[in-house]
């Protein structure tokens, strides 16, 4: 074997799902693609290929011992997009092998849907459609006794990574004050995006629209509980976009059921949601089955971002599009692998 | 009588509905407010007041003979916001009495709701909520087989007055090509807003999202008919925000029912919509009971715009916020007076 | 004579200067163009043409008696762009003949140059170039002891018509607070452009960069005098773009000479400026010979705006691009006809 | 010694120059600051402190042997902002010690000045001021025979790092096509900023305004030579902001002197420029003595960015504001240490 090998082991993704033909063609130019997508690549196959492998696309286990077998390896692309404990991140760091995720591909579609849901909650769009179909719609002013305008409403963001920044840009024409709580970021970053750094309590108590865009770590599970929902103003629009585990779900459902807040929910503690889950008949809520991120364009963006960075790396240049795993941070993240998106 | 009189005859509006207390206080500073809002002001009362009247707020009939009785009259504010044949516009023009409407107050809330509905149609938000409640929701990629992104989708606007311009500004972050059909406007105006002037057929056949924001005139009733719906691409999102009469309604409903297009409808030929109207069970559509404009803030904006212009006029300055009736144009418009918004 | 006549009497402009060939061709389609541009059209010729004239482009005298001779006249376009007492505005108003000016054509180039000059004054660009040529330039930090950043600096605008609004849009990326003093406008207009309404004294005392974009009226000549310059903060950048007569010129020159403020001046009380005027050797100032507006594109915009509005008017539609003279306002303006721009 | 030590060895900077008091106070909270700023810290002192040092601010030599002496070291901040061969980047990488530079602090002031200079070159501001002072100014249209509008002019950027992106945002209101040549970046990054990826020749031959914002590497020295200047359109505005070494200086001066292009130059091959350098009397050029970056706010931003990232690192979080040295890339860069900025 002398051709450089590109080991592609992408499950639960498949190459067709994440690469348009033109992108796939660019990948083929970088080396000999060896692909396993009907099942995960066997250990034997992986071990056989590693000595000539230059790029790895997939979630193949890569402990230190395997890295030792891969002296030509230049980068690992996690195309499922959540960093998992399948890789020895410290060993990769020592070898200058970046472990990369194009996970920001999902940020744009999620933010777009979140804006639509925020307008919907403010203006009562889905609810009014239900009323109309049920024959008891109200017209004009009578239909606006509980509505408010997103324009100018104080907005709060919990989490200000790719998702929060995408949403922030989409709402610029609405001229909101945007308060941000993100304990992982310096105030400078938040202010550069024309937002105000704020404590969690400030965000909760002063915002009319609250977006949750927070990753789960070992430290913040369930951090939005009864106390936090009580802090919110009546009729706050609360949008849970990511991740279900940061919220105390029963506390949220209570706040919705009582009419204290209205909400949009895209992520649930158990998915699929059980058939008899009472959330299905809850008022004051827009239900979305973990569907805001998984658009066709987002999947293709995973592939095009990964291939573009692979091209840079093969030319000796630093990657620009994917996020690089930080050994210290990767160990804090509590993502579970996707099975349905 | 020597105090300047401000004749206020605002039905179907009332002053409380259109003026916050601070705005009402500014009105009181401009003269002696004489108000009739439990019933329209009587002819006798109007005729008695006119000789000392400087400003008229309302839809009082003002034929030439009455204008002759009002030598001090400086302006007429139509607070219902549609120019009707109650005023002799030509006689007002000759006397330099502007007839003014703060109707653009409704543009911002309608545009905001229209954006929410456009994202909803593109991403299937309301429909997915219905599916979830019915127990047959789909997750992730499976839920996105028919969705598309508003981001980057070609947009078409039919009508580019206040509504179209508000919408145009709201969608700037979405980086769409925006084609505009408005036969009343020069191309220069359209290009200044970073849109492309286009024929009606171009707008219909090249856009993925089409917003109707057109006033009705004696010439354009029902101009969107079967031919026009057939021109649209499959799965076009069609948003009828204003006015119902520009659309051939049965043709539109056919296009929706067949699945050729998806739609959001805020205006209907007969309102309230009859209880047994089959539109109530139509798929592929968001139903909205003429409710996108009548928000609390829009009503208050009517009052604040009118009072601000009245202040300017009393200082000898030209009005800046309300639209001035053009005698030639006012006669073309076919608005019916509102009764429910 | 039965063809509709377009009477074109454009001096001091000429048609070639204000219309590109394609625009001129559009004009020719509207009627029979009768042009006099080597000298003003003679009274006899004007009187002979008026009975069949539908559009007038130029500054031809139009007293009431002449309007009586022009029963088919639909609009008058002042292509010099300053409303002068050559027209009986009240008589035009009574006959629904709009008197129109495409004067906003100059706003964009003036605002662009004003931004360049503002950055120049803040960062010392022209001055540093002079120092470099004189052999005593300073480098790096030493060259920045008196500079400040336009980014984030408090900005004040005196006058908020087309010029001010163009400038406001150009500086959006600089994230300034923008305070506006314009006694002709309601606060709502100012706030819609994300500016703060302010008194003159507030603008003067709180801004680091002050732009003057004010028209001259019978009431505001010389309203920026010694008291007003004294109110400014040390090292304020003061940009006099329009009109020279609103400033007490000697007071301004004193404030510049003493080093209290730095300035850019595009308009002068007497133009051309006398050869021995001491302003020519003043430090702390950028000198510009009334040259920021007269760009090629601005002249062509005069023609294209006028022709586009003429097309609308010939189709029975209201003009959209030019400003319409208000009889009450036109009499207040104190413009002198241009001779050099 | 048990307190964590912050070793500060900042020459040619000093702490007062790069940290406002509030930022300095934040630094003091992170550990015991040991500072040497009248001279570089002695080797003995460095070696004595390293065992307890957690953060290093400065350009202290850090070969592998010294890193071995610093087991508690968490990060190195290069406050001069150019990565130099003073550090063993590979050894730092292996130890998870990021080497960080807040060099993007200079991007905003340079971009601001570059915009001012671009408007100046397009509209002839500095040149017109010189003419005015020399007594031969031209007025109005006569003064605009060689000017063009930045608004809408095709713009080209050579290099699209922090500088290019800052400039791109500043010129958004000017609605230019922006073509970008940057061989280190994937097209996706360029398109995300609403720019068009282009070859060098395309940028040179299709742009009316060209900004050079390129770092020097071992491969691109002098890559803009006679052929490249010949490719430019007549009267192109060429702005050399960074770095002098990427340009063949004599070729550029020829193109300026002949009137083929006009230019603004902020960086020179030898600084200070010799007293008798003929560049000092060149026409068609704005001269700037390496002064666009070194503003007070930029220096303070160096300190605040470094301290904010230090705070994150001390809390176990990844840095967010400074750029991290990539071992592979750092070795390609050819910066010389600053002495005057």
* Residue C143 contacts D where some CB pair is shorter than 8 Å: yes
Listed in sequence order, the residues at least 6 apart from D320 whose beta carbon sits closer than 8 Å to its beta carbon are A185, A186, A188, A189, D308, D309, D312
Taking a C-beta distance cutoff of 8 angstroms, is the pair D258, D233 a contact? Answer: no
Same domain, yes or no, for C231 and C93? no
Taking a C-beta distance cutoff of 8 angstroms, is the pair A212, A246 a contact? Answer: yes
Taking a C-beta distance cutoff of 8 angstroms, is the pair C128, D287 a contact? Answer: yes
User: At C340, is the pLDDT very low, low, confident or very high (cuts 50, 70, 90)?
Assistant: very low
A316 contacts in chain D (CB < 8 Å): 328
Whether the ω angle into residue C206 lies within 30 degrees of 0, i.e. cis, is no
**How far apart (Å, rounded) are the C-alpha atoms in residues B184 and C216?**
34
* Residue C309 contacts B where some CB pair is shorter than 8 Å: yes
Listed in sequence order, the residues at least 6 apart from A141 whose beta carbon sits closer than 8 Å to its beta carbon are B17, B294, B299, B340, B341
The answer to whether the CB atoms of B288 and A129 lie below 8 A apart is: yes
pLDDT at residue B340, as a whole number: 35
Beta pairing partners, A7: A34, A56
Listed in sequence order, the residues at least 6 apart from D259 whose beta carbon sits closer than 8 Å to its beta carbon are D283, D284
**How far apart (Å, rounded) are the C-alpha atoms in residues B76 and B319?**
11
Closest CA to C160 of C116, C100, C213, C230: C213
Best probe of the A interface among D186, D306, D327, by most A CBs < 10 A, is: D186
Segment C281-292, tens digit of pLDDT: 999 999 999 999
A305 contacts in chain D (CB < 8 Å): 188
Q: Is residue A198 classed as helix, strand or coil in its secondary structure? A: coil
List alpha helices for D233-335, DSSP H. Answer: 249-257, 296-314, 327-330
B93, B186, B311 member nearest C96 (Cβ): B93
Residue burial A166-191, b: 16+ Cβ < 10 Å; e: rest:
bbbebbebbebbbbbbbebbbebbbe
Instruction: Let me know if B186 is exposed, middle or buried by CB neighbors in 10 A (0-12, 13-18, 19+).
Output: buried
C308 contacts in chain B (CB < 8 Å): 186-188
Same domain, yes or no, for C112 and C208? yes
Same domain, yes or no, for B186 and B121? yes
Q: Is the pLDDT of residue C241 over 70?
A: yes
C112, C143, C149 member nearest D119 (Cβ): C112
Segment B103-150, tens digit of pLDDT: 999 999 999 999 999 999 999 999 999 999 999 999 999 999 999 999
B107 contacts in chain A (CB < 8 Å): none
Q: Which of A14-28, A195-209, B78-92, C248-262 has the lowest mean pLDDT?
A: B78-92
Domain hosting D312: range is 5-102+296-330
| Mean pLDDT, all residues of chain C | 94
Instruction: Let me know if B135 is exposed, middle or buried by CB neighbors in 10 A (0-12, 13-18, 19+).
Output: exposed
Segment C1-26, tens digit of pLDDT: 468 999 999 999 999 999 999 999 99
Segment B277-294, tens digit of pLDDT: 999 999 999 999 999 999
Tell me the two tokens of residue D223.
């890559």
Best probe of the D interface among A185, A186, A302, by most D CBs < 10 A, is: A186
* Residue D30 contacts A where some CB pair is shorter than 8 Å: no
Instruction: Dump the DSSP string for D37-99.
Output: -SSPPPHHHHHHHGGGEEEEEE---B-HHHHHT-TT--EEE-SS-S--TTB-HHHHHHTT--E
The answer to whether the CB atoms of A94 and D90 lie below 8 A apart is: no
Instruction: Let me know if D238 is exposed, middle or buried by CB neighbors in 10 A (0-12, 13-18, 19+).
Output: buried
Same domain, yes or no, for D73 and D181? no
Q: Residue range D204-227: average pLDDT?
A: 93
Same domain, yes or no, for A261 and A125? yes
pLDDT at residue B330, as a whole number: 67
pLDDT at residue D339, as a whole number: 40
**How far apart (Å, rounded) are the C-alpha atoms in residues C210 and C263?**
9
How far away is chain A from the Cα of B299, in angstroms, using its nearest Cα?
9
Chains with 3+ CB–CB pairs under 8 A to A are: B, D
User: At A337, is the pLDDT very low, low, confident or very high (cuts 50, 70, 90)?
Assistant: very low
Same domain, yes or no, for C98 and C110? no
Taking a C-beta distance cutoff of 8 angstroms, is the pair D79, D24 a contact? Answer: no
* Residue A326 contacts D where some CB pair is shorter than 8 Å: yes
* Residue A35 contacts D where some CB pair is shorter than 8 Å: no
**How far apart (Å, rounded) are the C-alpha atoms in residues C331 and C329?**
5
Same domain, yes or no, for D233 and D261? yes
Per the rule left: phi > 0, alpha: psi between -120 and 50, beta: everything else, B92 is alpha
- CATH number of the domain enclosing B98: 3.40.50.720
Same domain, yes or no, for A278 and A305? no
- Residues across chain A: 341
Tell me the two tokens of residue C212.
């003057």
Q: Is the pLDDT of residue B94 over 50?
A: yes
Q: Which of A219-223, A335-339, C239-243, D274-278 has the lowest mean pLDDT?
A: A335-339
Residue D110 forms part of a structural domain:
yes
Cα→Cα distances B145→A267, A300, B124, Å: 19, 14, 10
**How far apart (Å, rounded) are the C-alpha atoms in residues C194 and D64?**
55
The answer to whether the CB atoms of C188 and B311 lie below 8 A apart is: no
Taking a C-beta distance cutoff of 8 angstroms, is the pair B60, B7 a contact? Answer: yes
Same domain, yes or no, for D303 and D157? no
pLDDT at residue A286, as a whole number: 98
* Residue D317 contacts A where some CB pair is shorter than 8 Å: yes
3-class SS shares of chain D: helix, strand, coil, % to 5: 40, 15, 40
How far away is chain A from the Cα of B290, in angstroms, using its nearest Cα?
6
Residue C339 forms part of a structural domain:
no
| Closest residue of chain C to B93, computed from CA coordinates | C94
- For residue C231, the tally of other CB atoms under 10 A from its CB is 16
Cα→Cα distances B132→B136, B281, D271, Å: 6, 17, 69
Best probe of the C interface among D111, D126, D277, by most C CBs < 10 A, is: D126
Q: Which of C30-34, C79-83, D109-113 has the lowest mean pLDDT?
A: C79-83
Beta pairing partners, C285: C263
C300 contacts in chain B (CB < 8 Å): none
**How far apart (Å, rounded) are the C-alpha atoms in residues B61 and B83?**
12
Q: Is the pLDDT of residue D338 over 60?
A: no
* Residue C327 contacts B where some CB pair is shorter than 8 Å: yes
Residue B38 forms part of a structural domain:
yes
Residue C335 forms part of a structural domain:
no
User: At D276, is the pLDDT very low, low, confident or very high (cuts 50, 70, 90)?
Assistant: very high
Dihedral of alpha carbons D22, D24, D26, D32, sign:
negative
How far away is chain D from the Cα of C288, in angstroms, using its nearest Cα?
6
Segment A188-225, tens digit of pLDDT: 999 999 999 999 999 999 999 999 999 887 788 999 99
| Closest residue of chain C to D17, computed from CA coordinates | C141
Residue C340 forms part of a structural domain:
no
- Residues across chain C: 341
Same domain, yes or no, for D30 and D163? no
Q: Is the pLDDT of residue A332 over 90?
A: no
Tell me the two tokens of residue D91.
């050894």
Residue D56 forms part of a structural domain:
yes
Per-residue DSSP letter, A338? P
Same domain, yes or no, for A17 and A61? yes
How far away is chain B from the Cα of A90, in angstroms, using its nearest Cα?
33
Q: Which of A216-220, D252-256, D272-276 has the lowest mean pLDDT?
A: A216-220
**How far apart (Å, rounded) are the C-alpha atoms in residues A282 and D253?**
73
Q: Is the pLDDT of residue D126 over 90?
A: yes
**How far apart (Å, rounded) are the C-alpha atoms in residues D8 and D4?**
13
Taking a C-beta distance cutoff of 8 angstroms, is the pair A85, A325 a contact? Answer: no
Segment A130-156, tens digit of pLDDT: 999 999 999 999 999 999 999 999 999
**How far apart (Å, rounded) are the C-alpha atoms in residues A77 and A99?**
6
Instruction: Give B299's Cβ-side CA count (13 Å radius).
Output: 23
Beta pairing partners, A265: A240, A287
Residue C336 forms part of a structural domain:
no
Q: Is the pLDDT of residue B157 over 70?
A: yes
Same domain, yes or no, for B19 and B81? yes
B182 contacts in chain C (CB < 8 Å): none
Q: Token match 């340079």: residue?
A: D110
**How far apart (Å, rounded) are the C-alpha atoms in residues C149 and D296?**
9
Beta pairing partners, C236: C261
Q: Is the pLDDT of residue D313 over 80?
A: yes
Best probe of the D interface among A102, A108, A188, A191, by most D CBs < 10 A, is: A188
Read off φ and ψ for residue A180, nearest 5 degrees.
Answer: -125, 130
Residue burial D197-226, b: 16+ Cβ < 10 Å; e: rest:
bbebeebbbbbbbbbbbbbbbeebeebbee
Taking a C-beta distance cutoff of 8 angstroms, is the pair A170, A115 a contact? Answer: yes
- For residue A205, the tally of other CB atoms under 10 A from its CB is 16
Residue burial D115-154, b: 16+ Cβ < 10 Å; e: rest:
bbbbbbbbbbbbbbbbbbbeeebbbbbebbeebbbbbebb
Residue D338 forms part of a structural domain:
no
Instruction: Give B339's Cβ-side CA count (13 Å radius).
Output: 4
The answer to whether the CB atoms of B327 and C186 lie below 8 A apart is: no
Q: Is the pLDDT of residue C339 over 50?
A: no
Most confident of B199-203, D213-217, D331-335: B199-203
How far away is chain B from the Cα of C185, in angstroms, using its nearest Cα?
7
Taking a C-beta distance cutoff of 8 angstroms, is the pair B267, B244 a contact? Answer: yes
The complex scores an ipTM of: 0.95
| Closest residue of chain A to D327, computed from CA coordinates | A96
- Residues across chain D: 341
- Residues across chain B: 341
* Residue B16 contacts A where some CB pair is shorter than 8 Å: no
Best probe of the B interface among A108, A113, A241, A297, by most B CBs < 10 A, is: A113
- Nearest-5° Cα angle at B157, B151 to B159: 155
Count up the domains in chain D and report the number: 2
Beta-strand pair C209-213/C236-242: parallel
pLDDT at residue A249, as a whole number: 97
**How far apart (Å, rounded) are the C-alpha atoms in residues C171 and D169?**
11
C120, C173, C281 member nearest D170 (Cβ): C173
Q: Is the pLDDT of residue B328 over 80?
A: no
Q: Residue range B86-100: average pLDDT?
A: 94
* Residue A314 contacts D where some CB pair is shorter than 8 Å: no
């Amino acid at each position: 074997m002398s051709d450089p090998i590109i080991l592609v082991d992408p499950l639960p993704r498949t190459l067709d799902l994440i690469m348009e033909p033109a992108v796939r063609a660019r990948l083929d130019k970088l080396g000999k693609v060896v692909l396993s997508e009907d099942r995960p690549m066997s250990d034997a196959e992986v071990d056989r290929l590693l000595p000539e492998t230059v790029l790895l696309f997939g979630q193949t286990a890569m402990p230190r011992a395997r890295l030792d077998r891969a002296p030509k390896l230049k980068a690992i692309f996690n195309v499922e997009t959540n960093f998992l404990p399948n890789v020895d991140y410290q060993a990769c760091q020592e070898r200058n092998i970046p472990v990369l995720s194009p996970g920001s591909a999902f940020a744009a579609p999620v933010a777009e849907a979140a804006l639509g849901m925020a307008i919907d909650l403010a203006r009562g769009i889905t609810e009014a459609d239900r009323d109309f179909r049920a024959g008891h719609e109200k017209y004009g002013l009578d239909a606006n006794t509980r509505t408010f305008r997103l324009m100018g409403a104080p907005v709060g963001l919990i989490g200000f990574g790719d998702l929060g920044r995408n949403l922030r840009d989409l709402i610029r024409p609405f001229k909101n004050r945007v308060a941000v709580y993100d304990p992982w970021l310096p105030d400078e970053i938040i202010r550069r995006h024309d937002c105000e750094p704020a404590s969690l309590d400030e965000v909760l108590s002063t915002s009319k629209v609250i977006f949750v865009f927070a990753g789960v770590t070992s430290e913040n599970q369930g951090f939005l509980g009864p106390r936090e929902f009580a802090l919110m103003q009546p009729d706050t629009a609360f949008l849970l976009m990511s991740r279900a585990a940061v919220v105390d779900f029963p506390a949220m459902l209570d706040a919705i059921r009582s009419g204290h807040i209205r909400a949009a929910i895209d992520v649930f503690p158990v998915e699929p949601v059980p058939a008899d889950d009472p959330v299905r008949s809850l008022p004051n809520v827009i239900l979305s089955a973990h569907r805001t991120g998984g658009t066709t364009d987002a999947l293709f963006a995973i592939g095009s971002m990964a291939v573009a960075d692979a091209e840079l790396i093969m030319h000796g240049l630093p990657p620009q599009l994917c996020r690089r795993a930080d050994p210290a941070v990767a160990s804090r993240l509590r993502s579970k692998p996707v099975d349905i998106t």
